[in-house]
Chains A and B, each alone.
Chain A
Amino acid sequence: MTDAGDQQTRLDERGGYRRPVPVLWWIRKPTYFLFVMRELSSIFVAWLVLYLLLFVRAVGRGEAAYQEFLDWAASPWLVVLNLVAFAFVLLHTITWFALTPQAMVVDLRGRRLPPAAIIGAQYAGLAVVSAFVLWLVTR
C-alpha cells in the first residue's frame, strides 16, 4: 500500500497511474543490457586514448621515461584494465559498424547499397588502417 502523498505523485492530472521505472531496467532485456554496455564502452575508449597519449609523452621524453612507462604498463592491474578496455573497444567497434547502415543510406546509381556492403567496407577500412599502423611500428 502506498500512502496518500506518494499516491499523488504517481497520478498525473488525468488520474493515470505512472509506473515507476526500476533502477535496474537495463538488465531486464538482453538488448537493453547490450545497449548500456555499449554506452559504458565510451569510458574505456577514452581511457585507451589517454593511455596512448601517456605513451607518446613517454617516448618524447627519452629512453628512461620510455622504460619507466613500459615497467608501469607491465604491472598486473594495468594489464587487466587494458584487457577489459580492449574487450569493450571490440564491443564498441562491432556494434558501431553493425548500426551504421541504419543511419547511412548510400545511393549508388539509383540503387540502395546493401547493409552488408557498408559493414564490409568498414571492416576493410579497419584492416587497411591496422596494417598501416603495424607496418609503421615494425618497419
Chain B
Amino acid sequence: MDDEITLRVTRYRPDKDDEPAWQDYDVPLRTEWTVLDALNHVKDDVDTTLAFRWSCRMGICGSCGMNVDGEPRLTCATFLSDYAPGPVRVEPLGNFPVARDLVVDIDDFMRKLPQVKPWIIREEEQSVDDGEYLQTPEELDAYKQFSMCINCMLCYAACPVYGLDPDFVGPAAIALAERYDLDSRDQGARERLDVLIEHEGVYGCTFVGECTRVCPKHVDPAGAIQRYKLKTAQQSVKAFLLPRALRR
C-alpha cells in the first residue's frame, strides 16, 4: 500500500473567492485513519485555515457529515484506506449553501425541525404525583428505529427532491414526526399532520429512497414518509366512508 493519499478538498472563503475550488493535500495513508483524522492532520500540521465541523469522532454527534467521493458520509466513520489509491474528494454536504470550505449553512434544517413538533404532546399533562408514563417493550419497539436519528443531515444531502425544492420539509424532520406519532405516550399526531399534509410535507417526497441508503443510523426516513402517506390516506378514506362514531 502507498504511504500517502491525496485529499482533494473544497475550499471556499466567502471574503476572497467567487466560487468554491479544489485544493489538494497529501496526507499519510494509515489503515486506522478516517477522513476526519486526515482533515485534522491537515488542520494541525499543514494548513490551519481549513474550516470544517466535527466533535465526537464516534458517530453520535452528527456534525462531521460531508460528501466523500460524492456520497454523503460521516467522515469519522469513513476510512481513508477504502479510497486508496485516491484521490479522495471531500466536499461540503450537498444541497446546503456553503458557508466556508467544508462548513454548510444548516439554518434551513434548524428552522424546519421544530415545525413538525418533535416532542411529546399531551392533551392533558398528568401531574408528577401520578407517576411516569409507562410503556411496554413492544410500544418502545414501535418507534425506536426512528428515534436513532442524530440530525447529521446526510439524508438532506442525498435527497434530490430537497435539492430541487428547498421548501420540502425533508427526510429527517418527517422521520422524527413519525417517531413521536408512533410513541404511545404522545397525543400530538393531529398537530403534526397540519404541517405534514401540506404540499412541501410528506407529499413532496417521490420515494427516491436515497435518504435511507445513506443514513448512518439505519433510521429509514423513506419508510417513515411512506408510512405517513399511507396513514393519512387511510384516515381520509375512513373519514369519507365511516359514520362519525366509528372513526378514530
Contact = CB atoms under 8 A, between A and B. Distances in A.
A102 B212 contact: yes
Interface string B96-113: 111100001101000000
B86 interface: no
Report the interface size class on chain B: 20 to 34
Contacts of B138: 110
Contacts, number: 73
B213 A31 contact: yes
A17 B213 CA distance: 27
B98 A16 contact: yes
Contacts of B114: none
Contact of B19 (A16, A17, A26, A32): A17
Contact of B18 (A7, A18, A29, A102): A7
A15 B16 CA distance: 12
B87 interface: no
Interface in A41-73: none
A35 B94 CA distance: 19
Contacts of A16: 14, 96-99, 104-105
B105 A25 contact: no
Given A14-B107, A17-B14, A105 B227 contact: yes
Contact of B209 (A7, A19, A21, A35): A35
Contacts of B220: 102
B235 interface: no
Contacts of A28: 70
A99 B225 CA distance: 12
A32 B160 contact: yes
Nearest to B107: A14
A18 B226 CA distance: 29
Interface of B: 12, 14, 18-20, 70, 94, 96-99, 104-105, 107, 138, 160, 163-164, 206-210, 212-213, 220, 222-223, 226-227, 229-230
13 contacts: A2-B18, A12-B97, A12-B105, A14-B107, A17-B14, A17-B19, A17-B98, A19-B20, A31-B210, A103-B226, A103-B227, A103-B230, A105-B227
Please give me the 7 A-B residue pairs with the lowest Cβ-Cβ distance, nearest first: A16-B97, A103-B226, A16-B105, A102-B223, A17-B98, A35-B208, A18-B97
Interface of A: 1-2, 7, 10, 12, 14-19, 21, 25-26, 28-29, 31-32, 35, 39, 99, 102-105, 110
